[in-house]
Amino acid sequence: MPLSDITITKENAKKLAVIVKNRYAESVVSIYPEILKYHPHCQGVLLSLVYNRGISLEGTSRKEMKDIQNVLKKGNANEIPSLLRSMKRLWTTSQNRGVAIRREEEAKWFEKGVKCDCF
């Protein structure tokens, strides 16, 4: 069956979205528990990152993800936007340019969250 033949009601799609978001939110907290101290923008960025990349922190392609864990433990969340931007080194072709753009947008949202004194 082609994917185009699969249908889902709007109500069920919303339920599925909540289930998926909760699952990935738990994954975020499992590797970045300190994120709960930060603005929802920052939390959302790491949710997006883990949704896109998973939770592995091993290997050279995961260096920045491990570094994010370390800077959060030290309370240096202001370093995270530069780590997100550093990940763009992994996506340099026109075929995966969108992921590099996503990392840049996530870095901007994280900066907004860190600067906000409303949380």
Tokens 């491990």 belong to which residue?
A: 66
Residue 57: CB atoms within 10 A of its CB come to 15
pLDDT score recorded for residue 1:
75
pLDDT score recorded for residue 57:
97
pLDDT score recorded for residue 54:
96
Q: Alpha helices of 1-119 — where are they, by DSSP H? A: 10-31, 40-53, 63-74, 80-86, 97-115
pLDDT score recorded for residue 21:
93
Average pLDDT for consecutive 10-residue bins of the chain (119 residues)? 89 95 96 97 98 97 98 98 98 95 98 90
CA distance 81 to 71: 11
pLDDT score recorded for residue 118:
85
